[in-house]
Chain A
Amino acid sequence: MTATRTAIPISESAKPLRRTNVTVEELDDEALIYDSVTADTHRLNRTAYFVWRACDGRTTPRQIAESLTKSFEVSLDEATAHAERIVGEFIERGLVFVDPLSEG
């Protein structure tokens, strides 16, 4: 997953929560996710896997982006755009949920 597709836009206050009923296999700094409901396999590169781990239901995309800037050499604006795109793609693929009540 490289965040190049058009993804679902999400609000700034949304706190995405990753699904727990999927199989996650970490390989080096990347990961594969197998969704037994859809029988789809997803590949997450380093950035996407970082964002995936941060989708804990308590963190906004902006806060995820701030974490990204500490681990990767990117500006906050770039990191925010990345985080929002990746979270949007996770939502599109049914890998994370956003609680409607968490959206402002």
Chain B
Amino acid sequence: MTMPNRNLPDRVATHLRIGVVRATVRSQPRRFRKEHAALYAPFRVSESSDSPITIDVVRKRITSWPCPRFEIYINGRMIFAPTRQEQILPYVEWAMNWEVPRVMPEYLQLHASSIEINGSGVIFPGDSGNGKSTLALGLLSRGSRYLCDEFAMIHSESLALHPYPRAICLKRPSFAIAERLGIPVNRSQSYLKGIKGFVSFINPLSIRANAIGRTCPIRHVIFPKYTQGATPNLMPITRAEAAFELHRLCFNVFGCDKPSLDVLTRMIRGAQCHRLVSGDIDATCQLVENLVATQPAQLARTA
């Protein structure tokens, strides 16, 4: 369904540059605008002409329906129709996740959280529920820099890892861990997000001013698997094993402007690959930091 061509006088446009991702969000509902601004105000920019992503949030009144209903359009196509205001923000985030792989073919995009530690890129690939976001948050709270909690954005030519510092999406079971790390979670403002259950969003810049990482080479590929009560442990795996799994976790296998397997194998030749059993967040972060600190000289030289 395409967007209706009608006058929407109270729709406010916000232009954003979130790392390498540019987007324009045009919205009517005031509550959504306020919530979205709390997360993305630092990423606002004035220019808009070259945004590849435009999201429209439209309020729609249906006479036979007692509540306002909303429609979310992305680049003119309606993809979600939430019934309540509090559902809009998670759906807009979701809409972004759908569109970014489609409109940014110059990046190979993996389902992974990504951070920068002293100029080295570290990615934590995995399906939902493996603790990617919580691990990124833990490392961020200890001084690492945040790149993204859901995407590893790898430039297909340079192979560099780029930031897309979207709001960190934290599931309810991780709220207490974040609070223990000293990161405030607004529990009263949590959202129901599909199979993830209740989530809360955290602006990485609310943790500290220099929280966002820079573009960097990928030096470590670490597949996390959270196991409650487990002793954290890192196990080396071959690059072929890692690349094979990364190929499965690629959002744009056919949408990248270069063959995805070629990009992956070129990237992974400069990285060490491990599986991580993660447990206690502090001990797990310490283990990862020690690994990055002791990276082989030949990897550091090619940085």
Contacts and interface: CB of A to CB of B under 8 A. Distances in A.
A25 B265 contact: yes
Nearest to B261: A34
B239 interface: yes
Interface string B254-269: 0000010110110011
Interface string B223-260: 00000000000000011110110011000000000010
B238 A23 contact: no
Contacts of A28: 238-240
A32 B238 contact: no
A30 interface: yes
Contact of B268 (A23, A27, A43): A27
Interface residues of A, number: 12
Contacts of B248: 41
A44 interface: yes
B241 to A, nearest CB: 7
A27 B247 contact: no
Chain B interface SS verdict (over half): helix
B265 A27 contact: yes
B240 A31 contact: yes
Contacts of A32: 240, 243-244, 247, 261, 265
A71 B247 CA distance: 30
Given A27-B268, A32-B247, A44 B240 contact: yes
Contacts, number: 41
B240 A27 contact: yes
Contact of B240 (A23, A34, A43): A43
Given A41-B248, A43-B241, A44-B240, A27 B269 contact: yes
Contacts of A44: 240
Contacts of A34: 247, 259, 261
Contacts of B243: 25, 27, 32
Nearest to B244: A43
Interface residues of B, number: 15
Chain A's interface: helix, strand, loop or mixed, by majority?
Answer: strand
Contacts of A45: 240
B264 to A, nearest CB: 8
B259 A23 contact: yes
A69 to B, nearest CB: 23
Interface in B9-39: none
B261 A23 contact: yes
A10 to B, nearest CB: 25
Nearest to B239: A27
A34 B220 CA distance: 24
A66 B269 CA distance: 31
Interface string A37-56: 00001011100000000000
24 contacts: A25-B243, A25-B261, A25-B265, A27-B238, A27-B240, A27-B243, A27-B265, A27-B269, A28-B238, A28-B239, A28-B240, A30-B239, A30-B240, A30-B241, A31-B240, A32-B240, A32-B243, A32-B244, A32-B261, A34-B261, A41-B244, A43-B241, A43-B244, A44-B240
Given A32-B243, A43-B244, 16 more contacts: A23-B262, A25-B243, A25-B264, A25-B265, A27-B238, A27-B239, A27-B240, A27-B268, A28-B238, A28-B239, A30-B238, A31-B240, A32-B240, A34-B259, A43-B241, A44-B240
Closest 4 CB pairs of A and B: A30-B240, A43-B244, A25-B265, A27-B240
Interface of B: 238-241, 243-244, 247-248, 259, 261-262, 264-265, 268-269
Interface of A: 23, 25, 27-28, 30-32, 34, 41, 43-45
